[in-house]
Amino acid sequence: MSKHTPQVGFVSLGCPKASSDAERILTQLRAEGYEISGSYQDADLVVVNTCGFIDSAVEESLDAIGEALAENGKVIVTGCLGAKGNVVQQAHPSVLAVTGPHALEEVMGAVHEHLPKPHDPFIDLIPPQGIRLTPDHFAYLKISEGCNHRCSFCIIPSLRGDLVSRPIGDVMSEAETLVQSGVKELLVISQDTSAYGVDVKYRTGFWNGRPLKTRMTELASALGELGAWVRLHYVYPYPHVDEVIPLMAEGKILPYLDIPFQHASPRILKAMKRPGDIDNTLARIRRWREMCPDLAIRSTFIVGFPGETDEDFEQLLDFLEEAELDRVGCFTYSAVEGAAANALPGSVPEEVKLERQAIFMDTQSEISAAKLAKKIDRRMTVLVEEIDEEGAIARSYADAPEIDGLVYISNGENLQVGEFAEVVITDADAHDLWAKLV
């Protein structure tokens, strides 16, 4: 009779950074011979990877822990919520262990304690690229953890600590393995990608024996040699961001920058304690576009921050109209427990926040529709995401997965998911494009 292989259930909530932690834990579990169970009933214990960023995420995480306890009974909690004092233990005293984010060893220690390692793990259970939660053709590449800024609305630094950059050799080896295993697109993530290496004074590391500085430009350039799409997320507009634009113009990395501006009124940005200098931003965007006309810029903004006046909001709209960003998300300000901004005066009534959000999105919608209409008749390379009865659904260089738009290919039914295709754009709305294979 075969011995029972220990089974671990896994529930992962939260952002791409949390997913990246989850991937490491899953990889380690499989490497040690544990099986990952698809149901609470078959699992010997359950690991819940939580998010604690906003109050609704806290609730969602606590509910998920409650459900795992009710369905299985043996639960280990990890992730951001675990770093928030005793919140988890108070709500669910029967959990077996609680750790914070980025705590692979602690999680594995807790698993070993409550569910001993199998004696004879198959060493080849684990593919070299590890276990990933994203589809096979794209992968998030986390380059650092934590953040040196102290934006007044954010509690990430208190949850995850100051910036710690991963060694550039490790990042490059991971990226190389991912590409060798069939990944077509690498999404570089962190809390602040442009600050990569600041904590180690841009130390020189090694990749395949070649010296490389721990710095965003050097990393982007080396990633660009791997032959996959490389997309940069969470880039703050520091002066050295100018250095990656030529890499985009040369086609080494995607001409795409995700820059969370959050606002455009210097007064509000000061209250938010945001990094970067907004005064020169418009001129820089103009210069970047001269260097790389295809550059797609994505950003997020917060409206209704404490003290935001009609004038501040007007300034934000003016910026939006001048900057003509390609992709934009807009959130209404909501207080996060423990954030310094909660103590600021001038809270904005909920209905005003919602009204400003609607005006903001209408304004952007027009900008976006006009920008996308200019793409009609252009040829583009797209990456296929899904095939359905109407054809294929893909993404262009300007579309990050899940947050940006899509390209619908009417005659793409014979394409494969994860394949690059050449299309010509036939139609556009304010968000998506329609195309035909060329």
Binding site members for [4Fe-4S] cluster: 15, 51, 80, 147, 151, 154
CA gap 57, 188 in Å, rounded: 24
Query: How many chain residues are in contact with ligand SF4, going by CB under 6 A?
Result: 9
User: From the CB of 191, what's the least distance to ligand SF4, in Å?
Assistant: 4
Residue whose C-alpha is closest to residue 318's, from 355, 367, 273, 354: 367
Q: Which of 149, 252, 267, 431 binds ligand SF4 (CB under 6 A)?
A: 149
Judged by CB under 6 A, does residue 336 bind ligand SF4?
no
Residue whose C-alpha is closest to residue 419's, from 181, 137, 180: 137
191 or 315: whose CB is closer to ligand SF4?
Answer: 191
CA gap 40, 63 in Å, rounded: 15
Binding residues: 15, 51, 80, 147, 151, 154
30 or 84: whose CB is closer to ligand SF4?
Answer: 84
Residues 6+ apart with CB under 8 A from 324: 367, 371
44 or 308: whose CB is closer to ligand SF4?
Answer: 308
Judged by CB under 6 A, does residue 216 bind ligand SF4?
no
DSSP code, position 341: G
Site string for ligand SF4, 101-140 (x = CB under 6 A): ----------------------------------------
Q: Which of 154, 175, 244, 435 binds ligand SF4 (CB under 6 A)?
A: 154
Taking contact as CB under 6 A, which single stretch among the options 61-69, 119-127, 142-150, 408-416 is the one that binds ligand SF4?
142-150
Query: Between vectors from CA 81 to CA 308 and to CA 83, what angle results, nearest 5°?
Result: 100
53 or 138: whose CB is closer to ligand SF4?
Answer: 53
Residues 6+ apart with CB under 8 A from 18: 12, 49, 50, 51, 79, 80, 101
Judged by CB under 6 A, does residue 157 bind ligand SF4?
yes
CA gap 420, 401 in Å, rounded: 15
With 0-12 / 13-18 / 19 or more C-beta atoms within 10 angstroms meaning exposed / middle / buried, residue 266 is middle
Judged by CB under 6 A, does residue 176 bind ligand SF4?
no
CA gap 95, 11 in Å, rounded: 14
User: From the CB of 308, what's the least distance to ligand SF4, in Å?
Assistant: 17
Complete DSSP assignment for 95-121: -SEE--SS-HHHHHHHHHHHSPPPSS-
User: From the CB of 19, what's the least distance to ligand SF4, in Å?
Assistant: 17
Taking contact as CB under 6 A, which single stretch among the options 34-42, 150-158, 278-286, 352-360 is the one that binds ligand SF4?
150-158
163 or 415: whose CB is closer to ligand SF4?
Answer: 163
Hey, which residues between 184 and 213 contact ligand SF4 (CB under 6 A)?
191-192
Judged by CB under 6 A, does residue 76 bind ligand SF4?
no
61 or 191: whose CB is closer to ligand SF4?
Answer: 191
CA gap 251, 333 in Å, rounded: 37
CA gap 23, 213 in Å, rounded: 26
Per-residue 3-state assignment (H helix, E strand, C coil) for 177-235: HHHHCCCCEEEEECCCHHHCCHHHCCCEEEECCEEEECCHHHHHHHHHHHCCEEEECCC
User: From the CB of 157, what's the least distance to ligand SF4, in Å?
Assistant: 5
150 or 374: whose CB is closer to ligand SF4?
Answer: 150
Residue whose C-alpha is closest to residue 271's, from 304, 319, 318: 304
Site residues, ligand SF4 (CB under 6 A) = 147, 149-151, 154, 156-157, 191-192
